[in-house]
Structure 1
């Protein structure tokens, strides 16, 4: 495991137990983002970097009982928090690196990823890996419950033009990985970039 991965695990591992309590009002934003993905009953979907599993109930509702939901996260403590919250009932939870997923190529209809892209040591490789596991025409949702400027302010940093989630950087990064950006929203209360897997 690289030092980058160790840092991510340490950061989220130390915060896992109180994560949901820090952000108690995010549930509706997650549900709205999942709804905007356009998943269908029976679809197979991955929550990449699922953390405490806040998107898993909405993903299960979107794909129904016949669908398949898997939540993958690099941090054991986050997955344990998901289990404590009962969200393991909505998905199969897997300890895995989003840049090296234990998932067959072109086996999924969609990937939901909340806050993931900024935590990938090599975002270009991560975006390619997410594309690998999704069928052509499949869906990607990159989400955060607050916009880029609000997140930067929360973290005490300035928003710069080279921000990875800025449309000017994100669109070509996704295109190089096999995705076509179809929708981009960056508002104070929401960040959501939707993309489709190219053939």
Structure 2
């Protein structure tokens, strides 16, 4: 993998530090703030096409709420790996160690070989990737040709913006017109795009 020049490295490090600090101070209360999301997670995982025996990467796994659901989908013969940048989030996710391996890592520089993963599940991930093109390209690197990416949030873009007291902006990365071209240039072929009040789910296949 080519290393970015020093200026890019410094900017990347700053973004990582800001992201880590943001989630570190929220880790303890995270699940209590969003207690009713599990059925939406389960539905998204069901629609992702994940099957028994596959290798699934929960990229930005946070407190691990998706990990038991991913384990149920791949069964005892599958592999579930949760990766997160923030130690405090992984501490909360540790209750799921019987269901998944956990690794602290930057999703733009994963300690994984090429073409290993069948499905990348990213809940709330795309908005927090430092350098989204770099992150999506790295996720494509570790995914086998024909494997899949599922970018999910239990709220659609408008509903999430309203919850935060913000309007939707024209430059929102998660909008179809912005995200689909980005996926095409980072190794993914968009498959479906759903943005409703109770679901944001984008599925893309790893380009062969």
**Who is 1:40 aligned against?**
51
Alignment partner of 1:178 is 2:178: no
Q: 1:195 aligns with which of 190, 193, 204?
A: 204
**Structure 2: gaps of 5 or more residues:** 1-11
**Who is 1:152 aligned against?**
161
Q: Distance in 1 between matches of 2:33 and 2:97?
A: 21
Q: In angstroms, what is the RMSD of aligned CA positions?
A: 0.8
**Who is 1:78 aligned against?**
89
1:1-199 correspondence to structure 2 within 5 Å: 2-83=13-94, 86-199=95-208
SS of 2:50's equivalent?
coil
**Structure 1 moving runs of 4+ over 2 Å:** none
Aligned length: 197
Once the two structures are TM-superposed, the CA of residue 161 in structure 1 deviates from its matched residue by 2.1
What TM-score results when the alignment is normalised by the length of structure 1?
0.97
Once the two structures are TM-superposed, the CA of residue 139 in structure 1 deviates from its matched residue by 0.7
SS of 1:158's equivalent?
coil
What TM-score results when the alignment is normalised by the length of structure 2?
0.93
**Structure 1: gaps of 5 or more residues:** none
Once the two structures are TM-superposed, the CA of residue 184 in structure 1 deviates from its matched residue by 0.5
Q: Distance in 2 between matches of 1:71 and 1:121?
A: 18
Deviations 1:9-58 (A, max 9, x none): 11100000110000000111111111111111110010000000111111
Q: Distance in 1 between matches of 2:99 and 2:182?
A: 31
Q: Distance in 2 between matches of 1:189 and 1:164?
A: 19
SS of 2:28's equivalent?
coil
Deviations 1:37-80 (A, max 9, x none): 11111100100000001111111011110000000000000000
